[in-house]
């Protein structure tokens, strides 16, 4: 994990994401890549390298000037100008989600951090984009945060799973965080009335799942609740978990996650950061 994208609109939530990127960048010796997308009404988009003469539009010209000022201010605010961390800054003009997708592909981004707007959760995010759409369009792990997250939070990773699906790519990311932060993984199956299994069978499934995927330093847990999202939040609270890691998929077993209900509820009502990754 060498290049960490933080898409910013300079809001408080965006600044929280920038601050959160610092312990991650230090742990992985990674570069923090700040990206601001200047929304325009035109369908045209431009790659901007700092030369505002690329367009004659006064509105775009002023927007670029303010964007450069705000990027400099944000970098200074978080102490990213001291030379202790590698930082890059970029501005793009156009549709936010289109520009982010293009940028991720061209700039070889490994990881993304997005600041969420509290109760808006996954449906409304920085830059006016939709996180669930972004997750489907970019093949990256995405960490959604609604407040500043310290490095300590990554020492307890809550991983809810049915233990029935391939989640190799998410597990690879979890392992990376575990090594970097010496974390404990809480492998949990949420028992609900509509998806119930005896605890002994659930533990057996989770143990096999952990072993098959080469997990270390993990605990298997079963938690009963009326709904998956309530159970995930309640369990995370019960173990004082740091982050919640969830796969997203349209397949059986986790269908509701990608369709909005579970992940939306978790992100919009959880005080904890949520790491999401498309299922294999």
Q: Which of 111-115, 256-260, 274-278 has the lowest mean pLDDT?
A: 256-260
Better-predicted residue by pLDDT, 14 or 59? 14
- Quickly state the pLDDT bin for 267 (edges 50, 70, 90): low
pLDDT tens for each residue of 11-38: 898 999 999 999 999 999 999 999 999 8
What does the pLDDT read at residue 252? 39
Look at residues 247, 239, 237 and name the one whose alpha carbon lies nearest to residue 269: 237
- CATH class of the 3-145 domain in this structure: alpha beta
CATH 3.40.50.620-classified regions of the chain: 3-145, 151-278
In terms of phi and psi (left: phi > 0; alpha: psi -120 to 50; beta: otherwise), the region of 237 is alpha
The CATH superfamily of 151-278 is HUPs (3.40.50.620)
pLDDT tens track for 91-120: 999 888 889 999 998 999 999 998 876 543
């Amino acid at each position: 994990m060498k290049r960490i994208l933080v898409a910013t609109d300079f809001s408080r939530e965006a600044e929280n994401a920038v601050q959160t990127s610092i312990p991650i960048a230090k742990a992985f010796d990674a570069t923090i890549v700040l990206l601001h997308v200047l929304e325009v009404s035109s369908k045209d988009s431009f790659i901007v390298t700092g030369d505002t003469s690329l367009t004659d539009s006064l509105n775009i010209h002023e927007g670029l000037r303010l964007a450069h000022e705000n990027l400099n201010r944000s970098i200074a605010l978080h102490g990213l100008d001291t030379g202790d961390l590698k930082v890059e800054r970029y501005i793009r003009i156009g549709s936010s989600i289109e520009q982010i997708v293009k940028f991720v592909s061209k700039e070889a981004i490994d990881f993304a951090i997005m600041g969420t707007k509290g109760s808006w959760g996954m449906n409304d995010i920085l830059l006016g984009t939709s996180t669930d759409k972004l997750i489907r369009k970019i093949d990256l792990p995405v960490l959604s945060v609604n407040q500043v997250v310290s490095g300590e939070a990554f020492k307890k990773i809550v991983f809810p799973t049915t233990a029935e699906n391939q989640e190799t790519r998410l597990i690879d990311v979890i392992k990376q965080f575990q090594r970097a932060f010496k974390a404990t993984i809480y492998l949990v199956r949420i028992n609900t009335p509509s998806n119930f299994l005896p605890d002994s069978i659930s533990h057996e499934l989770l143990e096999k799942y952990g072993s098959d995927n080469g997990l270390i330093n993990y605990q298997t847990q079963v938690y009963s609740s009326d709904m998956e999202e309530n159970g995930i939040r309640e369990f995370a609270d019960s173990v004082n978990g740091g982050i919640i890691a969830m796969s997203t998929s349209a397949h059986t077993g986790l269908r509701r996650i990608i369709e909005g209900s579970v992940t939306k509820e978790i992100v919009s009502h959880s005080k904890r950061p949520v790491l999401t990754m498309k299922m294999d």
